[in-house]
């Protein structure tokens, strides 16, 4: 068991990369060279199997906002000595006909907005807040990290089953490890990613010329929409709504300061669509 743990720690150290947006070491058992082509193929399959809305004002807005946010990301990276970081990213932004209040991003920059989120967003600035969050997931390689963490979770489970010889003890280990590794490991890991994406996202939207003060307002509307129907934070993949509102309010001023470094001193009017 000690040899297995030592090998696991050694591989963990070797498989870390530093992300420029967070400045932190991140798990990278799977390279983007492997991950991106798979993600792109899955994205294309999803689009083929769902109703993609094209040519409407809202579909064009999704495209416009996505392009502005990705340009903001590139400007930030170039200004911070990370030229070429986005070389393998293939940005794509699509509006899909689905009542779910959701948007998501696959590794490499493949983004989907569902029509159901538009009524909660209410304006282009809120769309920019959502887009910034989704683009941030791609930039911070959160998909890569989640996959790597899953490998660790599975590897430790296998190691435990190999090391524990008694059948009854092995069953108890599997029962408690499954719950414990989720509640104490995977779920906090996921919530950390959501907080990172919120923070990076408001910076990107501000650099793109959108008022970051709208981000917490969006989440107030999200909270009203859900009617408080959410699991306790410690049992969720996402932070509690109030946690997100508080964090975004704290970050908005800092995002405005960062945007000024890029010549952005005023923001587009919020309005409604």
Catalytic residue list: 134
Distance, in Å, from the CA atom of 76 to the CA atom of 25, rounded to the nearest integer, reads 19
Residues 95/77, Cβ–Cβ less than 8 Å: no
Alpha-carbon distances, residue 209 vs 205, 212, 264 (angstroms): 6, 9, 6
The bridge status of strand 52-53 relative to strand 92-96 is antiparallel
How is the chain split among helix, strand and coil, in percent rounded to 5?
Answer: 65, 10, 25
CA 95 distance to own-chain centroid: 18
**Which structure tokens are listed for 254?**
């800092």
- Residue 69 token pair: 């946010």
Pairing of strands 25-27, 52-53: unpaired
92 beta partners: 110
User: What count of Cα atoms within 13 Å lies in the side-chain half-sphere of residue 2?
Assistant: 0
Residues facing residue 100 across a β-bridge: none
CA 14 – CA 86 distance, rounded (Å): 23
Q: Which helix (H) or strand (E) holds 179?
A: helix 167-181
Token pair for 162: 């190999």
């Amino acid at each position: 068991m000690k040899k297995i743990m030592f090998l696991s720690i050694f591989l963990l150290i070797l498989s870390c990369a530093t992300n420029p947006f967070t400045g932190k070491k991140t798990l990278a058992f799977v390279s983007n060279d492997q991950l991106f082509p798979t993600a792109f193929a899955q994205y294309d399959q999803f689009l083929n199997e769902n109703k993609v809305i094209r040519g409407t004002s809202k579909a064009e807005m999704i495209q416009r906002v996505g392009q502005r946010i990705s340009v903001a990301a590139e400007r930030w990276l170039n200004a911070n000595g990370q030229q070429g970081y986005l070389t393998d990213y293939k940005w794509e932004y699509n509006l899909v006909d689905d009542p779910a209040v959701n948007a998501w991003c696959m590794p490499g920059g493949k983004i989907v907005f569902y029509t159901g989120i538009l009524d909660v967003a209410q304006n282009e600035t809120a769309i920019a807040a959502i887009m910034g969050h989704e683009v941030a997931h791609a930039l911070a390689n959160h998909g890569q990290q989640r996959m790597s963490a899953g490998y660790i979770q599975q590897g430790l489970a296998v190691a435990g089953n190999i090391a524990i010889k008694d059948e009854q003890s092995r069953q108890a280990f599997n029962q408690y490890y499954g719950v414990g590794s989720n509640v104490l490991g995977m779920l906090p890991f996921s919530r950390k990613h959501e907080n990172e994406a919120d923070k990076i996202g408001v910076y990107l939207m501000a650099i793109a010329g959108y008022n970051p003060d709208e981000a917490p307002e969006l989440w107030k509307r999200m909270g009203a929409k859900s009617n408080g129907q959410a699991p306790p934070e410690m049992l969720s993949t996402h932070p509690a709504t109030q946690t997100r509102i508080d964090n975004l309010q704290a970050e908005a001023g800092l995002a405005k300061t960062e945007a000024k470094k890029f010549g952005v001193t005023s923001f587009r009017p919020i309005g409604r669509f």
